[in-house]
Structure 1
C-alpha cells in the first residue's frame, strides 16, 4: 500500500541545454520589481552544475516578487532515460510540501469554528485517547508511562505530538518500522488505531519530532468535513484557485508529464532511478490520502498557492483564508526553550506545518525574519518572504532532500539578485 512503503523511504549526465521560459519578458519584470535580471541569470549555471555532475537529472526554478514571475527556468531532464526534457508544466511528487496545503484545508474549518487549537485530538478521533509515552528499554522490556497531557491539535500542526515517522533508530521508531513493514497494517479502517497504538516518543508538547502528525490533521479534515481529504481540497482550494494539476494522483492523460524520481546508489553514490518509489507510482487514487506527503503538483500550481499565502489568504480575486488566519499560521508557535526546533534549523521557529524564520542573522543563508516555507522528500522546496514580497520555488525529484543541497544555493542566488 502506497502510504506504508512511501514513508519508510527517507533515509553522470551529459550537460543539458537550459530553457528560460519567455526570458525577455521575465527579465523585464525582474527589473521592474527590483531584481537585477543579470544577477538572476546566475541561477542557471549553478543549477546546471548539479545536472552536469550527474547529481540531479533536472531542475525547475521560479522566482516571483510583488505577485509577478521574474524568473522561470527549466533545465535538464524530466526523465533522463526516456529523453524527456524538464518543462514548466512537469508534474512533481511534492511529498511534505503537501503539509502546508493540508494545514490550509484544516484552517478553513478552524475559521468556521469546527475545532479549537487546544482541543485534544481525541475529542474528534477517539483512537488517540489514553496515550502511552516511551521511558526506557526495548522490546518486551520497554517501559512506558501515561501521557501527562493529551495530544492537542496544535501539537499535530507543530510536530510536538510525540508521534513519529519511523525514520530513526530510536526504540519507538523501530516499532513504527515493524508496523509499516506489514502491507496490511495501515488501511483506511485501521490507520488511526494502529498509529495510536504505538507509544509516543516524548510527552506531548515538550519536543519537536517529525511525524505522521499532518496525516492525522488530514484525518481530522475528513472527519469534520464528511469528505475524503482530496475531495475537500479540490472543492475548497484547488478548484477555486485554478490549481488544475494538483491532487493525490495523476490522471492517465497527464502521466506523460510526471517526472521520473531518482536516488543515490548506496554503493557508488551515483544518481539512479529509484525503485519502489515513495507512495507508489501516483497513477491511481490511493486508499489513504496522505495529508503529510501524498500530493503531486506543478510549479505554477504551487506558486498560486504560495502567492495566496503571501497575499494573506487571497489571490486572483479568490479568498481562501482570512488575513489574520494566515498571520497565525505563519507565526512562530514554538516556545523559546525549544528553539531551534532542530539542530540544522538555526534561526528557525515553527508555525503551522512549516518553518518560520525567527532570526535571519542566525540562518545559514540569506533570509528575512518572518520568511516561511518547507520542502519535500524528493527535493522540492519553497519559501515565502512577506518582507520582500518574494516567492521562490525549486523543483527536482531526488530522494532524499538535502543529499544535494541545491535549494540552499538557489535561495542565496535569489536574494543576491535584489537591487532595489
Structure 2
C-alpha cells in the first residue's frame, strides 16, 4: 500500500506548490483527455506525495486506487536490463560478447540497404550484434509499429507490430526477428526496437530458466515486488487491471486480452503489469545504487552508475546519433545508457531537470525518473496509448522541480 512517509517540507518540498502537479494532471482527466492517473514523489528514500484522480475503468466508473494494476509496457525494459546486469556481475558474459554465442540464429545477420519490404536488398553485417548493442538499442533491430522503414513493414508482415504471433514463445520470436534484416549496421546508430526483448531471451538462455523465474529470483523477489508479473496471475482481481485507452478515451478492446493472463511470449521489452507501490520499490532500488530496503543488494552501486551514464559513441545525444522516430523520451539533449535514457543538457532538453536525471516510460504513458542530484524519484501511471498523445513527462519534471526548495 502507498503511504506518505514524510511531510514534504521535511524533505525540502513545498506542499502548496506540489499540489500544482495533481491539479495539472487532473485537468487532463476533467477535460476527457486522460482516463485517470496515479503519481508518486519520493525524496531521500521517503515517499512524500501520492496523487490520483479519475478512473481505471471509465465505462464502469471504477476509480484509480493504490492497488490498481497497470500495464507498464516498456517500463519492463529496465527490469530486464537489471536482470541481465546481475548476470554480468557474476561473470556470465562480457558486454562486448556477440549474442550469437547464446542465440545462434543471430550468427550471420543481414543489413538492409535498399528495396521493398517483401524483397529487400541486404549486405552482411560488418560486425556481430553484441550484448551492449541490445542494452543501448544500437543493434539495428526495430519495431513494426514505427511505420517508417521497409524493415518495419517486414516486421508487421511477419506478425510483429504491437504484439507477436499467437502461441510463439521467446525462442520462436527470437528466431523470427533474426530472420529479418537489420535497419543499420550494429553500433552505427540508435533505434528504439525489440533489442530488450532479444536481451530477455538471451537472459533466459544464460540463466537456463524462463524470464519470469529469472525476474523472481534476481529482481522481484529480493525487492518484495509481489504484485508484478507477466500478465495477471490466477489470484489477481481482473477488475483491478486498468483499462487501456487511445486518444479521445477510445477503449482499445483489441489489447484487453493481452494482459489478462500469462502469455506464451514473456516480453522483456514490454510484458509486465505492476502496481504503483510495487514499481516504486524497483525505482527506489535504482536511486539507492542497487540496494534493497532490507539491506540486501540487487546490483552493485558501480554497476548502476555504469548503466545510467551515456553510452552513445562520442557522448552524442539521441537526436544526433539516433533516428527521428518514436521513443519513450525526447531525443534532444538526451543520451542512452544500459537500459535508461539520461538528461545530458537540460537547456537542450527544454525542461527543468538535473544533468544525469535518468528515466524510461511505457507505451501507455506510464513513466518514471530518478534525479540523483536532488535524490528524488517520480513515478507516474495511466493507460493512454500512445505515450506521445499528451506531453505528460515534461510536465512531471517541471511541476515537481518547481516545488523543490
Normalising by the smaller structure, the TM-score range is: over 0.9
List, as ranges, runs of 4+ consecutive aligned residues in structure 1 with deviation greater than 6 Å: none
User: How many angstroms apart in 1 are the aligned matches of 2:44 and 2:283?
Assistant: 12
The structural deviation recorded for 1:185 is: 8.5
User: How many angstroms apart in 2 are the aligned matches of 1:403 and 1:139?
Assistant: 28
The structural deviation recorded for 1:141 is: 4.9
Return the match for 2:369 from 364, 373, 383. Answer: 383
TM-score where L is the length of structure 2: 0.92
Asked whether the 8 Å contact 1:130–1:147 carries over to 2, the reply is yes
Return the match for 2:288 from 285, 308, 311. Answer: 311
Asked whether the 8 Å contact 1:40–1:417 carries over to 2, the reply is yes
Return the match for 1:193 from 154, 168, 175. Answer: 175
Asked whether the 8 Å contact 2:315–2:335 carries over to 1, the reply is no
Counterparts of residues 333-348 of structure 1 (less than 5 Å): 333-336=311-314, 338-341=316-319, 342=322, 343=324, 344-348=330-334
Q: Which residue of structure 2 aligns with residue 211 of structure 1?
A: 193
User: How many angstroms apart in 1 are the aligned matches of 2:120 and 2:315?
Assistant: 28
The structural deviation recorded for 1:234 is: 0.9
TM-score where L is the length of structure 1: 0.89
CA, structure 1 residues 56+184, in 2 after alignment: closer, same or farther (shift >3 Å)? Answer: closer
User: How many angstroms apart in 2 are the aligned matches of 1:281 and 1:142?
Assistant: 32
1:256 aligns with 2:234: no
Return the match for 1:174 from 143, 153, 172. Answer: 153
CA shift digits 1:352-407 (9 cap, x unpaired): 11101112222121111111010100010000011100000111001000201223
The structural deviation recorded for 1:168 is: 2.0
User: How many angstroms apart in 1 are the aligned matches of 2:64 and 2:45?
Assistant: 24
The structural deviation recorded for 1:337 is: 7.0
CA shift digits 1:33-56 (9 cap, x unpaired): 110011101112111110011011
Aligned CA-pair RMSD = 1.7
Q: Which residue of structure 1 aligns with residue 205 of structure 2?
A: 223
Return the match for 1:399 from 382, 385, 399. Answer: 385
**Which 10-residue stretch deviates more, 408-417 or 138-147?**
138-147
Q: Secondary structure at the match of 1:398?
A: coil
5+ residue gaps, structure 2, are 325-329
5+ residue gaps, structure 1, are 1-20, 265-269
The structural deviation recorded for 1:333 is: 0.3
User: How many angstroms apart in 2 are the aligned matches of 1:315 and 1:42?
Assistant: 31
Q: Which residue of structure 2 aligns with residue 92 of structure 1?
A: 70
Counterparts of residues 14-25 of structure 1 (less than 5 Å): none
User: How many angstroms apart in 2 are the aligned matches of 1:119 and 1:33?
Assistant: 44
User: How many angstroms apart in 2 are the aligned matches of 1:64 and 1:97?
Assistant: 18
User: How many angstroms apart in 1 are the aligned matches of 2:337 and 2:166?
Assistant: 34
CA, structure 1 residues 337+319, in 2 after alignment: closer, same or farther (shift >3 Å)? Answer: closer
Asked whether the 8 Å contact 2:97–2:130 carries over to 1, the reply is yes
Counterparts of residues 36-51 of structure 1 (less than 5 Å): 36-51=14-29
Q: Secondary structure at the match of 1:160?
A: coil
Q: Secondary structure at the match of 2:235?
A: helix
The structural deviation recorded for 1:139 is: 4.6
Q: Which residue of structure 2 aligns with residue 408 of structure 1?
A: 394
The structural deviation recorded for 1:253 is: 3.3
The structural deviation recorded for 1:96 is: 0.2
The structural deviation recorded for 1:183 is: 3.6
Asked whether the 8 Å contact 2:8–2:15 carries over to 1, the reply is yes
